[in-house]
Amino acid sequence: MKRIAIITGGSGSLGLELIKKYLDNNYIVYAIHNNSEITIENDNLFKYKYDLENEKEFTILIKDLKKKITDKSKISFIHASGIYSKSNIEDFDYEEFNRFMNVNTISFLCLYSKLFNVIKKASLCNIILISSNLTKRLNKGSMYYVLSKSMNNQIVKQIAYEHGSHNILANAIAPGMFISNMNKDYDKDKLKTIENNIPIKKLLTATDLASYIVNFTENNLYITGEIITIDGGNTLGY
Ligand SMILES: NC(=O)c1ccc[n+]([C@@H]2O[C@H](COP(=O)([O-])OP(=O)(O)OC[C@H]3O[C@@H](n4cnc5c(N)ncnc54)[C@H](OP(=O)(O)O)[C@@H]3O)[C@@H](O)[C@H]2O)c1
């Protein structure tokens, strides 16, 4: 069985942890990055530089995957690219909204639609779209982010429903906050407040989140169309 992982956001805090764990589990990894480098070297790792704000074709990646994927392949496809910043509803900016939608959401649809005829040949494909627990409990000034991530929650349901017969399982994972490039400027007091609001009193880490994702895709044969919240109970009440 040829094990293949496709990862967007491969240069991010979560992406790098995912790459390491899939390589450790003997996957061949195809990872997308943009402005940052993927700082891992391995013969089983193939890197692709695409700007997901604008990219629609993914020609080289698709050509490479077409050569690799067979009916014996087991695929994990993780859409982990993402951008986050604050803005107010009253300052709505169409260009900025499009940027969020393209990186967080639409880029996945462009890539998946191009890959579908290849992926459906595989014996199993587990798709994970990274969402956010902010789709459950909201956050002021995060409208673009929440809207794009909420759409990811729906996309997995649609794929699960329409493509389940091709051995494609699609789920969203909605993490709570974890320290990453996205929030490295948060001050200690803010982090402590977030931590105190979590019932288990511990922040998630990119390493632990990557383990949950890799274990899930390694073992999942029947869960599909679900939104799995991983936030230590943060959205239960606060
Ligand atoms: N950190 C959190 O608290 C948190 C909580 C819930 C959900 N999430 C989600 O978890 C996922 C991973 O985020 P992270 O925290 O690991 O953040 P991160 O370290 O900032 O990683 C973001 C990734 O997205 C990529 N990206 C951004 N803009 C791109 C573009 N235009 N084209 C291509 N790639 C682009 C970055 O690539 P380059 O750097 O190479 O440009 C990077 O690989 C994201 O979907 C995020 O929304 C994060």
26-79 confidence digits (pLDDT tens): 999 999 999 999 999 999 999 999 999 999 999 999 999 999 999 999 999 999
Q: At what angle do helices 59-68 and 107-119 cross, to 10 degrees?
A: 30
CA distances from 23 to 10, 49, 134, 219, 228 (A): 13, 19, 30, 16, 24
What is the spatial distance between Cα 7 and Cα 30, in angstroms, rounded to a whole number? 6
Confidence band, pLDDT 50/70/90 cuts, at residue 238: low
Query: From the CB of 234, is ligand 1 less than 6 Å away?
Result: no
pLDDT in tens, 165-191: 999 999 999 999 999 999 988 899 989
Q: What pLDDT score was predicted for residue 229? A: 98
Q: What pLDDT score was predicted for residue 185? A: 87
Structure tokens at 49: 């530089």
Query: From the CB of 191, is ligand 1 less than 6 Å away?
Result: no
State yes or no: pLDDT of 162 exceeds 90: yes
Q: Which atom of ligand 1 is nearest to the CA of 84?
A: 47
Secondary structure of residue 35 in the 3-state scheme: coil
Alpha helices in 1-133 (DSSP H): 13-24, 59-68, 94-101, 107-119
Question: To which H or E segment does residue 76 belong?
Answer: strand 73-79
Q: Which residues contact 162 (CB under 8 A, 6 or more apart)?
A: none
CA distances from 153 to 128, 147, 169, 185 (A): 10, 10, 14, 28
Closest-CA residue, ligand 1 atom 24, reads 81
- Indicate the residue type of 181: N
Mean pLDDT of the chain: 96
Query: From the CB of 229, is ligand 1 less than 6 Å away?
Result: no
Q: What pLDDT score was predicted for residue 33? A: 98
Structure tokens at 123: 């014996």
State yes or no: pLDDT of 104 exceeds 70: yes
* Domains identified in the chain, total number: 1
- Indicate the residue type of 149: K
Q: How many CA atoms lie within 13 A of 64 on its CB side?
A: 16
pLDDT in tens, 117-131: 999 999 999 999 999
State yes or no: pLDDT of 223 exceeds 80: yes
Closest-CA residue, ligand 1 atom 19, reads 12
Q: How far is the CA of 227 from the centre of ligand 1 (A)?
A: 19
CATH number for the domain harbouring residue 97: 3.40.50.720
Q: What pLDDT score was predicted for residue 10? A: 98
In the chain, the percentage of residues whose pLDDT exceeds 70 is 100
pTM strictly above 0.85: yes
Are residues 51 and 11 in contact, defined by beta-carbon separation less than 8 angstroms?
A: no
Compute and round to an integer the Cα radius of gyration of the chain. 17
Range of 152's domain? 2-236
What is the spatial distance between Cα 198 and Cα 155, in angstroms, rounded to a whole number? 28
